[in-house]
Amino acid sequence: MPATRRAAVLGHPVAHSLSPTLHGAAYEALGLDGWRYTAIDTTVEQLPDLVRGLDLSWAGLSVTMPLKHAVMELVDHVDPLARAVGAVNTVLVSPAQCGVSLTGTNTDVHGLVQAIREGLAERHGTLAAPVRRAVVLGGGATAASTLAALGELGCTAPRVLARNLARTATLQEAAARMGVTPRYEVLDAGTAPEVLAGADVVVSTMPAYAADPVAASLRSQGVRAGGVLLDAVYDPRPTALSQAWAAAGGTVVGGERMLLHQAVEQVRLMTGRPGPVDAMDAALQQALGAEAA
């Protein structure tokens, strides 16, 4: 085994990624002196050549958009969860008879589950609080991982509010593979607050600023929020939706918590050692504080 092990996050653009901060903190805490983790700006067109160049000096890759679907066709194996969700965010490199074997997996689901549990624990004082009613805002790749996470938490029939139902075909296919049965509805900012207010958990997978009209309606209508909101966006931080939800009495979990926990799971898979949550969390908070300064 090579003395130096490499890992990286791939995406386009990727310079803003906090993954190097998280993984670097983990390597330091674990005493992995020969390990290094970088960010590599990679387009879909460049991805095949990069993947073909992986050797045993590599431990794995973190994969962000727009590569999560494309990379599935380039690995040797895709684990069942990633196959069901329809997205790979982690590639693991292992020895094989003729070089290396690449396995695609998905740690976004783990990150979502852990982040939601943090919010439930804050609101109810227990990680085991039931999730009976859930709402997902958005219908893209993160929404598919969210459906898997909610299913793991016991909610298999959430409501999905999307701006364009015609664009949810891929999500609906993923839901069918996972055995969950969401109710799909057009997102109407005017009526959304009442729907959200009755949920145990709301997960917004919408891009930055896209949920601002919903936030404005929450404020203007004065509804009371009784559950947990996880907003997958962490830039800007806090989002308008998070601020409106907190003002309505709800519990807010920032998207950086999902980012943290999916990275913790990636570290475990790539190194074979438990991800040091506290060290990684401290590095994340320091980085976010520096960005806000």
Catalytic residues: 68
Q: d(Cα 69, Cα 165) in Å, to the nearest integer? A: 20
Structure tokens at 286: 């320091």
Task: Find tokens 């290094």 and name the residue.
Answer: 36
- Partners of 186 in beta bridges: 162
256-291 as b/e, with b when 16 or more CB fall inside 10 Å? Answer: bbbbbbbbbbbbebbbeeebbbebbbebbeebbeee
Nearest of 108, 104, 4, 110 to residue 60 by alpha carbon = 104
Q: d(Cα 257, Cα 223) in Å, to the nearest integer? A: 26
Q: d(Cα 253, Cα 260) in Å, to the nearest integer? A: 12
Query: Do the beta carbons of residue 206 and residue 181 sit within 8 Å?
Result: no
